[in-house]
Amino acid sequence: MVNEKLNTATSLIRFSAGHIAKAAEISRLKGENFNIFSILGLESAENKTHSTFIGELLNPEGSHGMQEVFLRLFIRQLETEKLNQQKKISIKSPLDADERIKFRTEGARVKLEFPIGEIDIEKKTGGRIDIFLEDKNGKCIAIENKIYAPEQPMQIPRYKTPTNEVVFLTLDGTDAKERGKLEAGKDYFLLSYRDNIKDWLQACLKEVADFPILRETIKQYIILIKKLTGQLASQEMKDQIAREIGRTSENFKAAIEIKNNIDGAMIQLQTDFWDELYQAIKTEEDWQADIIFNNPDIKNSKSIINRENGQVDILLIENFYTSKKELYGLHYEIAKGQNKWNFSLMVDHNLWYSIDIKDGKLPGYECSEAGSYFWKHFKNNQETINFKKYHNNRNIVDLFDSDNRKNIIQKIITDWKDEIDLLP
């Protein structure tokens, strides 16, 4: 019985793999693999790519020359989504549609990384708002844009004011964790790239059909969003795989088993990855750092290596794929000259480096909102390694091959040593 189920699952996987390969070839022939954002290594850069691009489209004075057309379409999308979320929690708006849209697009201003004062966690004030919209009447919309970066403490309450309407934008519409006592759909609202931003951009496309450069640039960005949200697969391929799954009851049971074991495969992959990386570092020549078991500059960070037995802490990885939030990785103390530095390779969706530096800034690094450390994503072939949102992530696929995993680990070590060499 077990062998029969395994054979059915194996056949189903091979069937799907064949159609996936065919869809990939179609994408290549259509030129979808040529994406300027991917080529420049900007796929997941929240501020440099996504906030900047979205902010430029929303800006009535933007270089697109469409005045408030894009902003007006965005406000419509936002208001529709607000109504949907209010209905889910049984909040009824007494206002009609015209009165409900209080934000006036004429003469509105758009600001990026808008500072609202020094951060005070206790008072729930301060910070920098990713995308800040303000109309002539003083009505404001504060958009917190999250692709993969971790949330900062009490972020939503700090941005919520009597004049600020807060929007939490993520790839799939995930609710904020750092929301205090505030409630989504009532005190702030959720938007997703997967649905809301994609639909908004599709509406924008209709307005620029006769403007080829603008039209094609928006198309490229839509393709990037589809890639980040696992929507690049063709509908034909999806239909064929769905029909095969539903062809027999055994196929359907096998599909359920495959789905139920995806996280198990990712847990095993992460376990192998961290163990092999840790062992490779221990045997690396000229390694100038000592392992530590927490980084005090990063709140709640943990070591993936158990202090007691020197083994990978599998429980942390298991929690990573459940609702429990974990922030973990490898932490090292580096002595260079008169200084000591804490240097970490962490995972929170993506792999990223962090380093605590008190003065100045290292090239290519972004500062945490709290100002306690600098960070940047590790990239292989200009793409991040995303252990959480692994759909369409080429590096995750490569990590399942032992030779490719070894090469990526060596690249991490080489990059890490190069970063150490940059320290003053």
Q: Are residues 331 and 357 in the same domain?
A: yes
Q: Are residues 128 and 200 in the same domain?
A: yes
Whether the predicted pLDDT of 40 surpasses 60 = yes
DSSP string, 80-134: HHHHHHHHHTTPPP-S-HHHH-----TT-EEEEEEE-SS-BTTTTB--EEEEEEE
Asked if the structure places residue 37 within a domain, the reply is no
For Cα atoms 2, 6, 271, give the angle at the middle one, nearest 5 degrees: 105
Which residues have a Cβ under 8 Å from the Cβ of 368 and sit 6 or more positions away?
152, 354, 374, 375
Q: Are residues 59 and 199 in the same domain?
A: yes
Whether the predicted pLDDT of 209 surpasses 70 = yes
Q: What is the per-residue pLDDT for 298?
A: 73
Whether the predicted pLDDT of 337 surpasses 60 = yes
pLDDT (mean) for 124-144: 92
pLDDT (mean) for 221-248: 81
Assign 248 a pLDDT band (cuts: 50, 70, 90).
confident
Q: What is the per-residue pLDDT for 227?
A: 83
Alpha-carbon span 122 to 144, nearest angstrom: 20
More confident residue, 196 or 283: 196
Rg (C-alpha) for the chain, rounded Å, is 23
Residues 62-115: tens digit of each pLDDT: 999 999 999 999 999 999 999 888 887 776 554 444 444 478 899 999 999 999
Alpha-carbon span 325 to 312, nearest angstrom: 18
Task: Report which of 344, 378, 373 is spatially closest to residue 361, judged by C-alpha positions.
Answer: 373
Q: Are residues 50 and 159 in the same domain?
A: yes
Phi, psi of 219 (to 5 degrees): -60, -45
Q: Are residues 340 and 297 in the same domain?
A: yes
CB atoms within 10 A of CB 306: 14
Please say whether the dihedral angle defined by the alpha carbons of residues 207, 213, 219 and 222, taken in this order, is positive or negative: negative
Alpha-carbon span 410 to 207, nearest angstrom: 48
CB atoms within 10 A of CB 244: 17
Q: What is the per-residue pLDDT for 46?
A: 80
Q: Are residues 65 and 98 in the same domain?
A: yes
Lowest mean per-residue pLDDT among 285-294, 379-388, 400-409: 285-294
Q: Are residues 266 and 253 in the same domain?
A: no
pLDDT (mean) for 229-255: 79
Lowest mean per-residue pLDDT among 60-69, 75-84, 242-251, 399-408: 242-251
Asked if the structure places residue 216 within a domain, the reply is no
Asked if the structure places residue 38 within a domain, the reply is no
Q: Are residues 252 and 278 in the same domain?
A: no
Work out how many domains the chain is built from and give that number. Answer: 3
Q: Are residues 17 and 104 in the same domain?
A: no
Q: What is the per-residue pLDDT for 234?
A: 67
Q: Which two tokens stand for residue 33?
A: 């693999």
Asked if the structure places residue 163 within a domain, the reply is yes
* Residue 27 exposed, middle or buried by CB count within 10 Å (0-12, 13-18, 19+): middle
Q: What is the per-residue pLDDT for 52?
A: 94
Q: Are residues 287 and 409 in the same domain?
A: yes
Whether the predicted pLDDT of 334 surpasses 60 = yes
Q: Which domain holds residue 353?
A: 262-422
Q: What is the per-residue pLDDT for 400?
A: 93
Q: Give me the amino acid identity at 272.
A: D
Q: Give me the amino acid identity at 54.
A: I
Alpha-carbon span 406 to 44, nearest angstrom: 24
Q: What is the per-residue pLDDT for 97?
A: 41
Q: Are residues 365 and 402 in the same domain?
A: yes
Tell me which DSSP letter residue 353 carries.
E
Q: What is the mean pLDDT of the chain?
A: 83
Q: Are residues 365 and 253 in the same domain?
A: no
Lowest mean per-residue pLDDT among 136-145, 216-225, 253-262, 268-277: 253-262
Asked if the structure places residue 39 within a domain, the reply is no
Asked if the structure places residue 186 within a domain, the reply is yes
